[in-house]
Structure 1
């Protein structure tokens, strides 16, 4: 009985120590883990929107799960980011409440930022590609995005996210 209790204790200790670890290919995302919020304009004469996003360790640290919702669930999406051994690249899939999805790759830069290249399927707005650059700067998550819409790249949009206690909401 004493050996069984010792074995259980060792197993629990091992599981507890492994809980917070990310695969080495994903460790660049460590600063992004947690919940983030940004309020920004979608254009002239349009009301501001609030985007709440959560980044978390998934699948025993072999993936990052992201979820976000705009305006308490008016729109939202979920992603899984993981290392694809065959492609030798970080890849992701993003599924939305609007019925479209994207798939893409991520490139990590020397300064720890990352660039995402997405192929979009099913967008009713004519968006077929997205390019975004994300950086962790002075405790903020800064995202610069461009969309290939109807064959032309849109001007860059930049959003600054701060740590938040809000929840991601899906309706």
Structure 2
């Protein structure tokens, strides 16, 4: 179950790690996030599709690759990310919208396994991103937090961790995404949480 939960967060790597413009000279990196009001670098993701290769530790546990695509909805007021695991066993949809706080976006993630999350994502001055969300409907995991970055070669990497009901944060997943033209796999969910 923990193995696949962070797929949504890794999918956000694509969004938040896109090339970020420089912080205005009058503001320090610690004071002002990259995006003022608006989607900032996330807007460039609309119309793109990505394939996420799991890290070595995840591969050893049988973690499938993740496919993810981005598009606008509701007249451009919401950025939507759809993802499906390569084997079709699990997927989800993330709806990202503006918040009232500069540089922070709100999102909800709805899964094919009957749980959901909601959280915020902040674009950082160094081009990285941070996200944290509350999990509802999934036993033993209360929160997920993740970080990511886009690299000069066009790939994006992300790492997540989980807060268990024991109060401890544990390592989650790592993925590296590359842009692709391959279609999303067909989703054939079981309706139960991923393992």
Query: Could you say which TM-score interval applies, normalised by the shorter chain?
Result: 0.7 to 0.9
TM-score (norm 2): 0.67
Aligned to 2:149, which of 97, 118, 135?
A: 135
Structure 2, unaligned runs of 5 or more: 1-35, 189-195
Corresponding residue for 1:103?
Answer: 118
Question: Are 1:46 and 2:61 an aligned pair?
Answer: yes
1:12-161 matches, cutoff 5 A:
25-33=38-46, 34-40=48-54, 43=58, 46-85=61-100, 89-124=104-139, 126-138=140-152, 139-150=154-165, 151-155=167-171, 157-161=173-177
Aligned-residue CA RMSD (Å): 2.3
Question: Are 1:164 and 2:180 an aligned pair?
Answer: yes
Work out the CA distance in 2 between the residues paired with 1:162 and 1:43: 17
Following superposition, the deviation at residue 57 of structure 1 comes to 2.1
Runs of 4+ in 1 over 6 A off after TM superposition: none
Given that 2:72 and 2:78 are in contact with CA atoms closer than 8 Å, whether structure 1 keeps it comes out as yes
TM-score (norm 1): 0.76
Given that 2:52 and 2:176 are in contact with CA atoms closer than 8 Å, whether structure 1 keeps it comes out as yes
Work out the CA distance in 1 between the residues paired with 2:60 and 2:158: 23
Instruction: State the SS of the aligned residue for 1:99.
Output: coil
Higher Cα Rg, which structure: 1
Q: What is the number of equivalent residue pairs in this alignment?
A: 147
Following superposition, the deviation at residue 72 of structure 1 comes to 3.5
Work out the CA distance in 1 between the residues paired with 2:59 and 2:42: 33
Greater RCO, 1 or 2 (C-alpha within 8 Å, sep 6+) = 2
Following superposition, the deviation at residue 144 of structure 1 comes to 1.3
Corresponding residue for 1:20?
Answer: none
Following superposition, the deviation at residue 143 of structure 1 comes to 1.2
